[in-house]
Amino acid sequence: MPASVQPGTGQLPINASFSVAVTGYHDASLDSEVRRFQAQLARQSGIPFRPKTGSSPTLTIHADHGRQAIQKLGEDESYELTVTDSGAKLAAPTTLGAMRGLQTFLQLVQITPTGFAAPAVAIKDQPRFPWRGTLIDVSRHFIPIDVLKRNIDGMAAVKINVLHWHLSDDQGFRVESKIFPKLTGMGSDGMFYTQDEIRDFIAYAHDRGIRVMPEFDVPGHSRSWFLGYPELSSGSGPYTLEGGGPGPYIDPIMDPTQESTYKFLEKFVAEMARLFPDAYFHIGGDEVDGKQWDANPKSQAFIHAHGMKNNQDLQAYFNQRLQKIVAKNHKTMVGWDEILHPDLPKTIVVQSWRGQESLAAAAKQGYSGLLSNGYYLDLMRPAARHYAVDPMANAAATLAPEEKGRILGGESCQWAEWVTPENIDSHIWPRNAAIAERLWSPQSVTDVASMYARLNAVSLHLEFLGLTHRSAREHMLHRMAGDADITELRNLADVVEPVKDYNRWSDAQGPIDFHAPLTRMLDAVYPESDVARHFSDLVQTFVQSGYKDQAAETQIRTWLAAWRDNDARLHPLLSTTFLLQEDVPLSQNLSALGVAGLQALDYLDKSQPAPDSWKTQQIALITQAKLRQADMLLMVVAPVQQLVEASASQHN
Amino acid sequence: MPASVQPGTGQLPINASFSVAVTGYHDASLDSEVRRFQAQLARQSGIPFRPKTGSSPTLTIHADHGRQAIQKLGEDESYELTVTDSGAKLAAPTTLGAMRGLQTFLQLVQITPTGFAAPAVAIKDQPRFPWRGTLIDVSRHFIPIDVLKRNIDGMAAVKINVLHWHLSDDQGFRVESKIFPKLTGMGSDGMFYTQDEIRDFIAYAHDRGIRVMPEFDVPGHSRSWFLGYPELSSGSGPYTLEGGGPGPYIDPIMDPTQESTYKFLEKFVAEMARLFPDAYFHIGGDEVDGKQWDANPKSQAFIHAHGMKNNQDLQAYFNQRLQKIVAKNHKTMVGWDEILHPDLPKTIVVQSWRGQESLAAAAKQGYSGLLSNGYYLDLMRPAARHYAVDPMANAAATLAPEEKGRILGGESCQWAEWVTPENIDSHIWPRNAAIAERLWSPQSVTDVASMYARLNAVSLHLEFLGLTHRSAREHMLHRMAGDADITELRNLADVVEPVKDYNRWSDAQGPIDFHAPLTRMLDAVYPESDVARHFSDLVQTFVQSGYKDQAAETQIRTWLAAWRDNDARLHPLLSTTFLLQEDVPLSQNLSALGVAGLQALDYLDKSQPAPDSWKTQQIALITQAKLRQADMLLMVVAPVQQLVEASASQHN
């Protein structure tokens, strides 16, 4: 949603005669963006646009200036877009702004009774925050470059301007180092990016107006470093990759007490600083498990000798040393919450995974900050929940203007415990677009219903762009079903979601096998069920009408009847393939809910209170249906419960 | 279906420990095939296989010899594949045969109650015909290399071994010529393949065991040559591309009476013969419209001067001259039916688009031949119909063994009047797999029901391979529907097919605009409706049971009720987007058929003859529903008619 939108009258037809002219400054970056714009417009509309010559282009693009060779934080991304029934004009101070405006134009194009068209409108737009990022973890599950590239396309479509590339962790080191080849040679399963691939990828992202910030997580989350270079660690090896073999699974940490660690990091950071042109360099710094330091007499002696109080002080010492190395390479150091320590200079940027409180605290102390708490896509929460999280809300709302200015924006995070190249798109999209809007659009834009309407539209456009967040589910359901028809399986998949937060795995289960297939129903379904949301909305409408809205009731009954009848048709399939057997109770519960809901409606229609015995039975069913099954949740339990309780509580 | 299959006992589990060893001859081609095999197995199963070391590989591959650097017609493609519950062995005289066997192994892998597995089996297999091709026309609509590559993958999966690349026609010349740059410079819309792209593509196909035979269609179907080189034509220019501008649309032909034509072709064929390594070179030769020759006094004088009787003789003269040029470049000339003429040497190959009669006639005269009649995918006929066409049937069945030996095989044809890169896969697949089986498997393999079962399985595997024959429909329906849910639109799309044969366009409509969007429902739906076939089968089962099969009736009623109710939900959408408005009557007819079918079942259930007046009404509806609507056909009319007539004809 742009900062300012003035609707006009009429619409601009988009047909085969559509043409684009660039009248102002242009460069290779804008030229290729225009080509991509036309290609995407062709995909969306199915119109095979051909190069036009002539005097009256449909869309005129005028940029005053070029953009930075290395994209800068805060570079001007503003633009103005005017669409009338006879043409469109896009004007921007920079080609970067023009690129943002072209994405807005693509969002305006819709199918109408008379053809494709963009509504007449006058838009003045600029981002609310200069830093709008998405973190993608490629350590826990390796994500190939082509998959990242299509996600870059998606990010550009929703005006995200930073890819935070989480490149190393306990489960794998993913970047080729020419100086320290054992980082990938021993610290990965052979899957990593070569430096050539990285350069190509960074250029790809730059071409789309996206900065690429690397993260190398130290001194914790760094087991993968120690397979090749155990001397960096504070404990004694040998080490194996987490998930790659037998434990032990305590967290190894770098040894901050020895100069050799810093010598290594000097060389490593210098190499990586050359490879990654972005001005920011993320050093992680989160979740440092102090056990190895506790166990290592050298560390404890070092703490005493330097007058430190604890492990936190030791990490701060490490960070100070590292910050100097990063700064020497002309980069600004970024790290997670835990790096915040008064000993560090105010130039660093703190990324808050812990919460808005710590973000505000950092800003108060003079540090710049980014919010990620509330934007963790891997927690499988609905878009509305992320959308409600504002970097300037709660603790930040009370900051002084100068302090507020230190909040640069935020980043969504896609941690990769449970994703593969096949299903990562659906874990990121379309929900990421809601977070992108939170970070771009005015704080006042908060209506959830209209957000979902836009999200649905953008989700379709993203599939046309090449993302697979919808289509991958279809593939995966077909795999589970073998040759069988998947209509009923899709019906079930439509109303379930994976369990939330960190509930998929418990520590009691031991380490995750990161090379196991992720091919269960759980892995295929969308993190957010549109059908359940629509059904719940329908039930609210019906309830609020005093159970009188006939149209709503008819639709509710259609759903309930479909669910009631689904299990009988689905059951034979569920029992014949090993990937679906665990879903039998889920399907049975859905059918039982369908029956319960229909009975509740019958009681409501007759204005006849449901008997207590019936209600007791239904509540028992509902209680059981709320439990996780095969690591999934049935998302239509609550609205059915609402109907059941309403039917029982009505009075004659 | 392999030539010989002996089922064994048990099954071979396919799990993370699966490994492959190559024990015999191997080369780059087999090595890359093994890598592709593993990648496809990973996509099908979702198991991220990792390189294994160890002494007992799951699958052992042994090839005695390598394959030809330039794949030859008749090269040994045989293999033997034995699967037991403890392992699998693939043996083949050549690496080419091993490649075919690996594709068979992939087809064996299925999901079971205990995991993925291949059934124990002993297979001895070799192709029935050495030439199993698919023609793809890239002139009428340009098809980019990446789309062709995924189709090559599909062809390899079903053991097709020739891509017949129809590279020039009236609508565009698609191959870069360095000697005659105006062929593409003026004779295309800018969309063509560079020679580098072609070399890369041929290597890609070769790697997958597929020959690439180019076709340059002369002396007719050659308008695109004349934009840049009008002097080649028998008429007077200037010319424009068909579909690329105003007419006239009579068919221009090359001038066979002037030596300069042959000088041009000498240079051109030499250049193309170097570019395309295959031993066969297709010169088209079909549908030569003699109007320009009739109108050109020079041509008529030439016919008289050389003692020819007619234009056919003149074309034969042209072909003789061209054949010598082709032969000088060490290629065998291939052409369509019309090149058959006693003046041509027996070394040429005749491809029959006209019918089995002409194929047999050619074989009798000593010519080798290929069957394409009956295999035209663009005619939108069901797989069963293509499957029933056998190169050795009808006229060919009476040939002597030696004559039969001249029938090399056949080719399916994908002419490109109505396809784009977006929907071409669904026009080719999965039906092409049925033709592939006809050409590979024994003549005795003819059961249609089991063919469809295999076709369904292979269709899924092809989507995992990257083809979009199923998923593209989803994209296209979403485009038509804008942001709306497409459940009901999918229901409608499931039971319609495009009109058949050449009925989409009539000459009265004038030339086709080859740059118009192909985005109507007609363009999105599958050429063959699985739902209609299943429904029809159900009705046959019900009828044959004497209307007593309750299970069948229940299923029939479920379908009919769904169709009855579909229009009410779909109608609002159909009327609001311009791409769907034309489908309103189709949707209404489907609902009416649902009502009629349910009423017929009610009469049948009550053993009560339906009244004449009711039957008359229903037949009127059915007659109207059989008519094309929006260039589509409702495919469930006939079985509903069957129910209606049965209900009216029963006796008390």
Structure tokens at B277: 């390594």
Helix (H, G, I), strand (E, B) or coil at A89: strand
Based on C-alpha coordinates, what's the Rg of chain A? 27
- Please state, in angstroms and rounded to a whole number, the distance separating the CA atoms of residues A293 and A250: 12
- Please state, in angstroms and rounded to a whole number, the distance separating the CA atoms of residues A286 and A288: 6
- Please state, in angstroms and rounded to a whole number, the distance separating the CA atoms of residues A86 and B250: 39
Band (B650; pLDDT cuts 50, 70, 90) = confident
Burial of B578 (0-12, 13-18, 19+ CB in 10 A): middle
Average pLDDT over residues B150-173: 97
- Tell me which chain B residues have a C-beta less than 8 angstroms from the C-beta of A482: 110-111, 457
Chain B neighbours among A 425-454 (CB < 8 Å)? 453
Nearest Cα to Cα of residue B431 among B464, B385, B494: B385
> Long-range contacts for A52-56 (Cβ within 8 Å, ≥24 apart)?
A52/A17, A52/A18, A52/A19, A54/A19, A56/A87
Q: Over 60: is that where the pLDDT of A75 sits?
A: yes
Is A582's Cβ below 8 Å from some Cβ in B?
A: no
Residue listed under structure tokens 């570079």: A75
Q: Do A479 and B463 touch (CB under 8 A)?
A: no
- Please state, in angstroms and rounded to a whole number, the distance separating the CA atoms of residues A308 and A302: 8
Is the pLDDT higher at A235 or at A115?
A115
**pLDDT tens across B1-35, in order?**
999 999 999 999 999 999 999 999 999 989 999 99
Average pLDDT over residues A57-68: 96
The pLDDT value recorded for residue B290 is 87
Nearest Cα to Cα of residue B193 among B218, B220, B163, B219: B163
- Please state, in angstroms and rounded to a whole number, the distance separating the CA atoms of residues B296 and B294: 6
Q: Kindly report the pTM of this predicted structure.
A: 0.96
Residue A326 neighbours by CB distance under 10 Å? 25
Angle between helical axes of B95-108 and B448-465 (0-180°, round to 10): 100
Q: Quick check: A323 and A262 in contact, CB under 8 A?
A: no
A-B CB pairs within 8 A amount to: 106
Q: Quick check: A441 and B444 in contact, CB under 8 A?
A: no
Band (A250; pLDDT cuts 50, 70, 90) = low
Is B544's Cβ below 8 Å from some Cβ in A?
A: no
Q: Alpha carbon A526 to chain centroid distance?
A: 13
**Residue in chain B nearest A519 by alpha carbon:** B46
- Tell me which chain B residues have a C-beta less than 8 angstroms from the C-beta of A51: 190
Distance (Å) from the alpha carbon of A472 to chain B's nearest alpha carbon: 10
Nearest Cα to Cα of residue B222 among B313, B292, B162, B317: B292
Helix (H, G, I), strand (E, B) or coil at A587: helix
Q: Over 90: is that where the pLDDT of B440 sits?
A: yes
Distance (Å) from the alpha carbon of A605 to chain B's nearest alpha carbon: 22
Rounded alpha-carbon distances, angstroms, from residue A137 to A477, B361, B433: 25, 66, 40
Q: Over 70: is that where the pLDDT of A359 sits?
A: yes
Q: Do A483 and B453 touch (CB under 8 A)?
A: yes
Residue A340's contacts (CB-CB under 8 Å, 6 or more residues apart) are A350, A358, A361, A362, A365, A367
The catalytic residues of B are 287
Structure tokens at B226: 């004349």
Distance (Å) from the alpha carbon of B363 to chain A's nearest alpha carbon: 41
Name residue B125's beta-bridge partners.
B79
**Residue in chain B nearest A110 by alpha carbon:** B482
Q: Which of A483, A538, A574 to mutate to test the interface with B (most CBs of B within 10 A)?
A: A483
Q: Quick check: A452 and A437 in contact, CB under 8 A?
A: no
pLDDT over 70 percentage in chain B: 98
Nearest Cα to Cα of residue B198 among B277, B142, B288, B136: B277
Is B518's Cβ below 8 Å from some Cβ in A?
A: yes
The pLDDT value recorded for residue B51 is 72
Nearest Cα to Cα of residue B359 among B336, B379, B376: B336
Distance (Å) from the alpha carbon of A594 to chain B's nearest alpha carbon: 18
Nearest Cα to Cα of residue A528 among A461, A589, A469, A607: A469
**pLDDT tens across B218-240, in order?**
999 999 999 999 999 998 888 88
Residue A72 neighbours by CB distance under 10 Å? 14
Residue listed under structure tokens 């909040």: A407
**pLDDT tens across A376-407, in order?**
999 999 999 999 999 999 999 999 999 999 99
**pLDDT tens across B175-213, in order?**
999 999 999 999 999 999 999 999 999 999 999 999 999
Residue A529's contacts (CB-CB under 8 Å, 6 or more residues apart) are A494, A495, A496, A497, A635
Q: Over 50: is that where the pLDDT of B247 sits?
A: no
For B463, the closest of A475, A515, A581 (CB atoms) is A475
Band (A249; pLDDT cuts 50, 70, 90) = low
Is B487's Cβ below 8 Å from some Cβ in A?
A: no
Q: Alpha carbon B355 to chain centroid distance?
A: 17
Q: Which of B474, B479, B512 to mutate to test the interface with A (most CBs of A within 10 A)?
A: B479
Chain A neighbours among B 174-203 (CB < 8 Å)? 189-190
Q: What is the DSSP string of A18-65?
A: --EEE-S---HHHHHHHHHHHHHHHHHH--------SS--SEEEEEEE
Q: Do B45 and A517 touch (CB under 8 A)?
A: yes
**pLDDT tens across A479-503, in order?**
999 999 999 999 999 999 999 999 9
Residue A120's contacts (CB-CB under 8 Å, 6 or more residues apart) are A7, A8, A9, A10, A11, A12, A83, A84, A85
Band (B246; pLDDT cuts 50, 70, 90) = very low
Question: Which one-letter DSSP state was computed for residue B566?
Answer: H
The pLDDT value recorded for residue B238 is 87
Is B488's Cβ below 8 Å from some Cβ in A?
A: no
Distance (Å) from the alpha carbon of B375 to chain A's nearest alpha carbon: 26
Distance (Å) from the alpha carbon of A434 to chain B's nearest alpha carbon: 17
The pLDDT value recorded for residue B209 is 98
Q: Do B111 and A480 touch (CB under 8 A)?
A: yes
Residue positions counted in chain B = 652
- Please state, in angstroms and rounded to a whole number, the distance separating the CA atoms of residues B410 and B390: 9
The pLDDT value recorded for residue A246 is 43
Rounded alpha-carbon distances, angstroms, from residue B71 to B66, B74, B233, B621: 11, 9, 36, 56
- Tell me which chain B residues have a C-beta less than 8 angstroms from the C-beta of A577: 111-113
Q: Quick check: B334 and B280 in contact, CB under 8 A?
A: yes
pLDDT over 70 percentage in chain A: 98
- Please state, in angstroms and rounded to a whole number, the distance separating the CA atoms of residues A461 and A457: 7
- Please state, in angstroms and rounded to a whole number, the distance separating the CA atoms of residues B48 and A519: 10
Nearest Cα to Cα of residue A593 among A639, A558, A551, A547: A639
**pLDDT tens across A543-572, in order?**
999 999 999 999 999 999 999 999 999 999
Peptide bond into B430 cis (omega under 30): yes
Is A468's Cβ below 8 Å from some Cβ in B?
A: no
Bridge-based pairing state of the strands B20-22 and B4-14: unpaired
Distance (Å) from the alpha carbon of A484 to chain B's nearest alpha carbon: 9
Residue B35's contacts (CB-CB under 8 Å, 6 or more residues apart) are none
Question: Which one-letter DSSP state was computed for residue B233?
Answer: B
Q: Quick check: A326 and A271 in contact, CB under 8 A?
A: no
Q: Over 80: is that where the pLDDT of A243 sits?
A: no
Strands (E) in A145-266, as ranges, are 162-169, 172-173, 211-216
Band (B652; pLDDT cuts 50, 70, 90) = low
Helix (H, G, I), strand (E, B) or coil at A351: strand
Q: Quick check: A186 and A225 in contact, CB under 8 A?
A: no
Is B53's Cβ below 8 Å from some Cβ in A?
A: no
Residue listed under structure tokens 């049937």: B393
The pLDDT value recorded for residue B40 is 97
Residue listed under structure tokens 């089962």: B541
- Please state, in angstroms and rounded to a whole number, the distance separating the CA atoms of residues A46 and B511: 21
**pLDDT tens across B496-539, in order?**
999 999 999 987 888 888 989 999 999 999 999 999 999 999 99
Over chain B, what is the mean pLDDT?
A: 95
Q: Quick check: A60 and A52 in contact, CB under 8 A?
A: no
The three-state (H, E, C) secondary structure of B64-82, written as one string? EECCCCCCCCCCCCCEEEE
The pLDDT value recorded for residue A242 is 67
Q: Do B578 and A189 touch (CB under 8 A)?
A: no
Q: Do B46 and A471 touch (CB under 8 A)?
A: no
Q: Quick check: A496 and A531 in contact, CB under 8 A?
A: no
The pLDDT value recorded for residue B651 is 72
For A515, the closest of B48, B470, B576 (CB atoms) is B48
Name residue B273's beta-bridge partners.
none
Q: Do A519 and B45 touch (CB under 8 A)?
A: yes
- Tell me which chain A residues have a C-beta less than 8 angstroms from the C-beta of B454: none
Helix (H, G, I), strand (E, B) or coil at A403: helix
- Tell me which chain A residues have a C-beta less than 8 angstroms from the C-beta of B471: 471, 474
Q: Over 60: is that where the pLDDT of B249 sits?
A: no
Average pLDDT over residues A573-587: 97
ipTM of this predicted complex? 0.94
- Tell me which chain B residues have a C-beta less than 8 angstroms from the C-beta of A48: 420, 515, 517
Amino acid identity, position A490: R
For B578, the closest of A115, A453, A578 (CB atoms) is A115
For B578, the closest of A114, A474, A575 (CB atoms) is A114
**Residue in chain B nearest A452 by alpha carbon:** B483
Is B554's Cβ below 8 Å from some Cβ in A?
A: no
Residue listed under structure tokens 């499931």: B494
Is A522's Cβ below 8 Å from some Cβ in B?
A: no
Is A114's Cβ below 8 Å from some Cβ in B?
A: yes
- Please state, in angstroms and rounded to a whole number, the distance separating the CA atoms of residues A638 and A593: 10
- Tell me which chain B residues have a C-beta less than 8 angstroms from the C-beta of A112: 576-578
Peptide bond into B256 cis (omega under 30): no
